[in-house]
Structure 1
């Protein structure tokens, strides 16, 4: 294929957000675009292509979705350190303000690099990040903390830590419960390896601070547990599903309620996800299921164990779709999934018509296969 026949990337979508979704609050956890020209090693701070990264956020806003910024999809703890996350939060929050986009940003403790951290260190780290996020005007998402999981001796340490943070939060926050399938360092979060006891502690935190919790993001990949927890939430507290396996059922809901969404899989599914939720807005649940149910096979493929490497598939699909010019990730994590895994992701996404320019996606897929010595 000569240079003249190489497909070009699709033109950028309009910068202004679409009208907001009405019946569900939906955030897509967005990935970051690495700078492939930077001379860095996997141990160096992330080199980010800020123009492409912000352009992708405008793409999400253009479809009416909110952006969940600096979450695990953005490779927090897997290539993006706190300094890089802080810059990402500042830039994305300013962009959101400029275009009128909805944004919520992750607050964690990843500036703590010493295994000798104390509970006081954890509180101070959370406070620093909370202050930065609230200073930008964004909603805060209190992320699960590896450091807290390492030093907490039981449920009381979690209760005290979150009590301290919620008392000083200037606006209602989203609490994030990320299961160990996404990050093994978070096993036993909320002070118990048993999920029933952990759920009770989680709900105790919420009940102790009425008006301080906008919602909870549940990423346990257990639909029944999420529904049971959702039914125990106080009035006015949203349940944002983080279940990338069962999201159509959870978002559709039942006669006792529904989940809103904060999902990494909505990074590649943004246009289709927005269309599906707008079908709910139009009181057409059948169209919602017809649009979203077929995406589950792709989601389950991207998030198959080891689940934490789903980011590789997300960035791969962004490259195929023309949202970035390369398949490179911060920290070199583009190598975390096999060529057969990526090939299947391409096939499933193509079947869903996710690529704005199918010829470009096919050309890039052939190029990747050729580089790996595979004849397309």
Structure 2
């Protein structure tokens, strides 16, 4: 049987879904040559009576089951970060509960866990004078850092909209990050999230000039190399990431957050490689883990053969406006059977068009990402009927 999918430029076109799943990838041990985290989405409670501005209603059972799925394939979980709708529906109260629950689950399973630390208790532009605003940003970071470390997880110091709004230049970043790193009990992961993911972060590290921003970031790291596990780079610029990782102090990892160029960055070159902390590894979990285990054996060609074909899907999910990639991630989780509905916190399921979702389905189906292709096809038919009147 065929589906009628939206065609570029309008109209419909036939698509014949695959009828058999791809070769099943069983769970496995964590990769050893690279440290790999999947930034995981949250599953909304579809029966909660809440609006876009209300508190996040989370289906905790389904949310934690998805994390167990990722751990079972040997991946680490990056919790309460951008993929989990931090700043786009999931506030700090919900994120704190998510961190507590995921940390308990990680302890029970022996799963690797890092958790986002931010300042989202504050409004995007803090009130009061500059000194008071900077003090508030520091206090917000400190409170979240304490919670994550109390739960036994590694902290990811995320970029702060509030800091970007009140900082006047590099000196404010150097002072604030230095204070946080001196207080951290264990090494943390820093995070440079580019404005394509969040326009409010334009000019982070004190300059819109990326060379100047890089210099400030490196100054933070080199002043505290014992307190920095690594830096996650989400700029969608492979050349800039490679240049940065070559300048990192020994022992400080570069975690790629580049959802456009991850195969080449993880594979690396004769002068180094990137580890991974990626939102696209949420839908690619089993395949990504198997690819990196292939790389563990020294088979770079085999690694690329598995992962290179996934880039078209990733580039599609992360196309502009990039921050809405989360809609595609949750959509694929629904099609794959990891959750029973396509509802998101804040109604974000409506953030991508039907043609965009249809193309995501087609690319994922072609990769064999769905354990049950018939289920994915049936759910796609329902979506086409409801959102497009296509029968």
1:73-222 mapped onto 2 (5 Å cutoff): 73-113=83-123, 115-117=125-127, 118-222=133-237
Distance of 1:169 and 1:114 partners within structure 2: 24
Where do 1:289-304 residues align within 5 Å? 289-304=304-319
The equivalent residue for 2:18 is none
> For each residue in 1:218-276, what CA deviation from the matched residue of structure 2 results, as whole angstroms up to 9, or x when unmatched?
00000000000000000000000000000000000000000000000000000110110
Give the SS at the match of 1:334.
helix
Change (3 A) 1:146 1:285: same
Distance 1:75 1:137 in 2: 22
> Corresponding residue for 1:6?
none
In structure 1, stretches of 5+ residues that fail to align are 1-9
User: In 2, Cα distance between the equivalents of 1:132 and 1:295?
Assistant: 36
Query: For 2:285 and 2:302, how far apart are their aligned partners in 1?
Result: 16
Deviation at 1:116, TM superposition (A): 3.1
Task: List gaps (5 residues or longer) in structure 2.
Answer: 1-20, 128-132
Task: Give the direction of change, closer, same or farther, for the CA distance of 1:199–1:35 in structure 2 (3 Å limit).
Answer: same
Question: Which of 41, 54, 59 is residue 64 of structure 2 equivalent to?
Answer: 54
**Which residue of structure 2 aligns with residue 25 of structure 1?**
35
SS in 1 for 2:273: coil
Cα deviations across residues 146-177 of structure 1 (Å, max 9, x unaligned)? 00000000000000000000000000000000
Partner of 1:5: none
Contact 1:17 / 1:100 at 8 angstroms: preserved in 2? Answer: no
- The question of whether the paired residues in 2 share the 8 Å contact of 1:46 and 1:84 is answered with yes
What is the alpha-carbon root mean square deviation over aligned residues?
Answer: 1.5
State how 1:349-368 maps to structure 2 within 5 Å: 349-368=364-383
Counterpart Cα distance in 2 of 1:85 and 1:151: 24
CA displacement at 1:19 relative to structure 2: 1.5
Retained in 2: the 8 A contact 1:66–1:101?
yes
Distance 1:331 1:114 in 2: 18
Take 1:158 and 1:303, find their aligned partners in 2: how far apart are those partners?
Answer: 28
Between the aligned partners of 2:296 and 2:214, the Cα distance in structure 1 is 31
| Native 8 Å contact 2:335 2:380 kept in 1 | yes
Q: Note the C-alpha offset of 1:372.
A: 1.9
* Match status 1:70 vs 2:85: no
Partner of 2:350: 335
Q: Structure 1 residue 206: deviation in Å? A: 0.2
Q: CA deviation at 1:373?
A: 3.8
In 1: Cα distance, 2:34 partner to 2:309 partner: 20
CA contact (8 A) 1:17 1:101 kept: no
Which residue matches 1:249?
A: 264
Cα drift, residue 294 of structure 1: 0.3
The 4+ residue runs of structure 1 with deviation greater than 4 A are: none
The number of residues matched between the two structures is: 364
Contact 2:255 2:276 in 1 (8 A): yes
The C-alpha deviation readout for 1:22-62, integer Å capped at 9, x for no partner, is 10000000000000010001110000000000000000001
Q: Return the alpha-carbon distance in structure 1 between the equivalents of residues 388 and 299 of structure 2.
A: 47
